[in-house]
Structure 1
Amino acid sequence: MRNFRQSSTKYTSSSHTSLLPVSAIGCAMLAMMLLLGGCGNDATVTGSSGQQLTVVPDDASAEQQPNVMLTSVDTLYNVYARTWLSPDELLLNKDNRLLVYHLSTGKSTPLTPDRQAPQYLAEASPDGKHIYFTEGREDDKYVIHGYILNRTTGKIAKIGDMDMVNEVHWADNEQLIAGSTGTGVRLIDLQGNSTLLKFHEPHATEAIQHVEKIGKRIYYLASDGQGYTTLNSFTTDDLQATMVASNVADFSVAPDGKSIVIQEVKWNTSEPFRLLVIDSSGKVKGTIGEGTLLGRPAWSPDGELLAFTIYQESQQGLKGLYIFDQRTGKTIPLTSEIQEYNQSTRWSPDGTHLSVYMEDKKVVTNIVGISR
């Protein structure tokens, strides 16, 4: 695997300023980046419900400073980071092959050495015991098949043809979930059997986008009937869906289901995307940031931290990779070098690393280490 591992850089307290933890960044820089004013006291951004998201200036005592800091950035070229299998195992895609990469050794092995079809996406179950992955056909790029690999036995269950439009996620350790045409979601068990769950949608919609399941509650994106996207939800006990929030371009639910981060967009305007944290009823808890383009935020496995990336066309405002700490309300800049705006940010199971891949002129995957 080291043949494509081009760079491995460790950042300490003497590293470049743009990659230092927040405690080493001057108050003037924070004021510029976070649009805050004033030095000497904690600078704050107040959300629409009054919650204050705080960045501690550099003259604060050590006890007051955030306990999340950047420790390392390892760069891998020409590979996509797909999903974490364990704290030491990251599943990568290189040349349409899925490879298990070991952080401790820098070496990799094929996930399914006996399979020859092109491989694309992959998602590990929360417990890491099963892997959903997709394969294609050399002669038809529009045909995608889905499979579930049992890592213990090596057996592979076939799901069948997959819809290229709807995302597939693990609902829990026992089943996958995906949107379906019309008002329905698919639940797929470990043997590949699919069940269509029909529910009552508030507005007519052509397709259900981006589905997540927390306990009995299912969240999804759908049209509001006027061409705009809303975040809706229903439960497996009550199939009548209701709207949680409007003008939502994307979302991610915390593992405990108590917080949801949404990307709010004002359609048909030039206003930037905004990241808001809301509760399960849609009440706004606070505003985290805004930017020209935002990557889908990713909650840490324990739900305490939220990682997100912001891309800015201008040189002002938030940009780069950030951590929002729910425990303290602090937003912590990690590095301005990572400004991706796709859905690639993933946490390792132990919450000590992030993987983010970026696509520009070439594909680059960054493995970011943090201390907590």
Structure 2
Amino acid sequence: MKNVVGKHCARLLPVVVLAAALSACQSQDRLTIVEPGGSPNIQPPVSNAGSNASEERKLTVVEGSRGGTSRELVVNQTHRIPSSNIEAWLSENEVRVTTTKMVKEATETEEPKYAYTTEAVNVSTGERREIKNHEEQHPGEHYVKEDASPDGKYSFIQKWRDKYTADNYMKDLSTGKSVLVKGNNYMEVGGWLNSDTYVLAAGSMSGKGEIRLISTDGSYETISIEDEDVESYNQFGASKGRIYYTDVNQVLKVVEPGQSKPVRLIENVWSFEISPDSEYIAVSTATKTDGEQGSELLIYDAAGRLQGTLIGKGDMISYLSWSPDSSKLAFDVYSENESGMNGVYVFNTASGKVSWMAPYYSSVHPAAHPQYPLNWSPTGKRLGITIEDKEALIATHVIDFK
């Protein structure tokens, strides 16, 4: 993440004022019913989840979303990859998967035994080829994570040598040349502060570890954040010149490089994901009232302003995943009340609508939930969802969007 504040970003003082007003905005639960193949039907605001099926299994509308046209999210077709979960997209049409097969069923005294292979699968044809000498034969040794800069000119690369240690590189995508970034790290949390600087929470075997502002030439400087409520930066990101993280009290905080004291932004944060273009922050909240668990999904801009209204609501919201072009956000909602929101949904930033994906990946149980993180293809036109499968243990369903 970068250490330069974007010219369009508000300063932190307005953020404090905005944060105080967020609770009032969060009560505007304006939801829209759009079943697959149907058209939006605006309903009155809903105050509680689980009233009836037509009101709660819904696609939601975000008022004031960007884009003057209402662009629908249309599903073209779905592909099924049995017994497999996606590890990575090798191209728009090919995925690397881990295939799981049972070799011995469970007995009264023994657990079942499974065999695992790594394969490349053509999504369209289903053709498979085993990857025999794959790096996963030595778990974590060669795991590579890449994060492209907002302008697409550079990429921050981590090559993990073991479970706790990675070598870091800054790669110039125009020339293909990489420079080593000195210093080890024990965590893989960070992001682009702007197009010139990546911010990395390096972690440590003891304590918080360093926060490094890494320039595109591979050099870096360290900064400190004065916060007694942080033991480690497990959730950490950056957008538009600001650093975001959660503390031990599940409070999302924001700080700018050069300022040591953070600003409290949002309480009861379960998880958050910053869009690749740094324009949006998806926030999943978690609260408990009278013993009942509740979760909401809301979208904020880089300055911490709530965008529109409620996106999702249920007992738990997980697996937040932005498409590479930031045009769509996939997420899973679990609700004990089956008439509530259940299953995987996709939020379209252009139209402000949320589409229910369950009918496209589960004909047996419409509220089946993913067992692995949601996976977008490189263009964001395909989404992989892995669920339990009675015949094949698990199955990945890849949804094609028009």
Fold shared per TM-score above 0.5? yes
Aligned-residue offset at 1:229: 0.6
Partner residue in 1 for 2:339: 316
**Distance (whole Å) between structure 1 residues aligned to residue 372 and residue 262 of structure 2:** 26
Partner residue in 1 for 2:229: 204
Mapped contact 2:385–2:398 kept (Cα < 8 A): yes
Of 243, 252, 275, the match for 2:297: 275
TM-score (norm 1): 0.66
Q: CA offsets, 1:332-351, max 9 Å, x none?
A: 21225364367711322212
Does the residue aligned with 1:86 lie in a helix, a strand or coil?
coil
Partner residue in 2 for 1:222: 247
Of 342, 345, 363, the match for 2:374: 345
Does the residue aligned with 1:287 lie in a helix, a strand or coil?
coil
**Distance (whole Å) between structure 1 residues aligned to residue 121 and residue 177 of structure 2:** 18
Partner residue in 1 for 2:131: 110
Q: Between 316-325 and 109-118, report the one with greater CA deviation.
A: 109-118
**Distance (whole Å) between structure 2 residues aligned to residue 119 and residue 68 of structure 1:** 37
Mapped contact 1:131–1:148 kept (Cα < 8 A): yes
**Distance (whole Å) between structure 2 residues aligned to residue 111 and residue 240 of structure 1:** 50
Mapped contact 1:22–1:333 kept (Cα < 8 A): no
Partner residue in 1 for 2:208: 182
Partner residue in 2 for 1:356: 385
> For the structure 1 residues 74 and 134, does the alpha-carbon distance in structure 2 shift closer, same or farther, using more than 3 Å as the test?
farther
**Distance (whole Å) between structure 2 residues aligned to residue 67 and residue 295 of structure 1:** 24
Aligned-residue offset at 1:100: 4.6
Mapped contact 2:122–2:128 kept (Cα < 8 A): yes
Aligned-residue offset at 1:68: 0.9
Partner residue in 2 for 1:243: 264
Q: Between 351-360 and 174-183, report the one with greater CA deviation.
A: 174-183
Does the residue aligned with 1:35 lie in a helix, a strand or coil?
helix
Q: Give the AA of the match of 1:276.
A: L
Count of residues in Structure 1 that have an aligned counterpart in Structure 2: 320
Q: Between 124-133 and 349-358, report the one with greater CA deviation.
A: 124-133
Q: Give the AA of the match of 1:185.
A: I
**Greater RCO, 1 or 2 (C-alpha within 8 Å, sep 6+):** 2
Describe how 1:1-372 pairs up with structure 2 within 5 A. 21-23=36-38, 32-33=52-53, 35=55, 51=63, 67-94=72-99, 99-104=119-124, 106-108=127-129, 110=131, 113=134, 116-119=137-140, 123-126=145-148, 132=158, 134=160, 143-146=163-166, 163=186, 166-168=187-189, 171=192, 177-178=200-201, 180=203, 181-182=207-208, 184-185=210-211, 197-223=222-248, 228-267=249-288, 269-285=291-307, 286-336=309-359, 337=362, 339-340=368-369, 344-358=373-387, 362-371=393-402
Mapped contact 1:264–1:275 kept (Cα < 8 A): yes
> For the structure 1 residues 76 and 33, does the alpha-carbon distance in structure 2 shift closer, same or farther, using more than 3 Å as the test?
same
Mapped contact 1:145–1:159 kept (Cα < 8 A): no
> For the structure 1 residues 158 and 327, does the alpha-carbon distance in structure 2 shift closer, same or farther, using more than 3 Å as the test?
closer
Aligned-residue offset at 1:135: 6.5
Mapped contact 1:84–1:124 kept (Cα < 8 A): no
Mapped contact 2:370–2:385 kept (Cα < 8 A): no
Aligned-residue offset at 1:217: 2.5
**Distance (whole Å) between structure 1 residues aligned to residue 87 and residue 190 of structure 2:** 13
Runs of 5+ consecutive residues of structure 2 not aligned to the other structure: 1-33, 44-50, 100-114
**Distance (whole Å) between structure 1 residues aligned to residue 135 and residue 371 of structure 2:** 31
> For the structure 1 residues 220 and 112, does the alpha-carbon distance in structure 2 shift closer, same or farther, using more than 3 Å as the test?
farther
**Distance (whole Å) between structure 2 residues aligned to residue 356 and residue 306 of structure 1:** 13
Q: CA offsets, 1:259-307, max 9 Å, x none?
A: 2110111146414211111223333222111122222322222222221
> For the structure 1 residues 169 and 202, does the alpha-carbon distance in structure 2 shift closer, same or farther, using more than 3 Å as the test?
closer
TM-score (norm 2): 0.62
> For the structure 1 residues 132 and 98, does the alpha-carbon distance in structure 2 shift closer, same or farther, using more than 3 Å as the test?
farther
Q: CA offsets, 1:72-110, max 9 Å, x none?
A: 222323433233343234333446766554435533463
Mapped contact 1:201–1:242 kept (Cα < 8 A): no
Q: Between 110-119 and 206-215, report the one with greater CA deviation.
A: 110-119
Q: Give the AA of the match of 2:263.
A: T
> For the structure 1 residues 334 and 232, does the alpha-carbon distance in structure 2 shift closer, same or farther, using more than 3 Å as the test?
same
Mapped contact 2:85–2:372 kept (Cα < 8 A): no
**Distance (whole Å) between structure 2 residues aligned to residue 112 and residue 167 of structure 1:** 25
**Distance (whole Å) between structure 2 residues aligned to residue 159 and residue 93 of structure 1:** 33
Runs of 5+ consecutive residues of structure 1 not aligned to the other structure: 1-18, 38-42, 54-63, 137-142
Q: Give the AA of the match of 1:87.
A: E
Identical counterparts, % of pairs: 20
**Distance (whole Å) between structure 1 residues aligned to residue 132 and residue 216 of structure 2:** 18
**Distance (whole Å) between structure 2 residues aligned to residue 97 and residue 244 of structure 1:** 44
Mapped contact 1:32–1:317 kept (Cα < 8 A): yes
Q: CA offsets, 1:200-258, max 9 Å, x none?
A: 244432111122233532222222xxxx2111222345454322211101011123333
Q: Between 101-110 and 298-307, report the one with greater CA deviation.
A: 101-110
Q: CA offsets, 1:306-346, max 9 Å, x none?
A: 21121222211111221212222222212253643677113
**Distance (whole Å) between structure 2 residues aligned to residue 358 and residue 159 of structure 1:** 40
**Distance (whole Å) between structure 2 residues aligned to residue 98 and residue 208 of structure 1:** 32
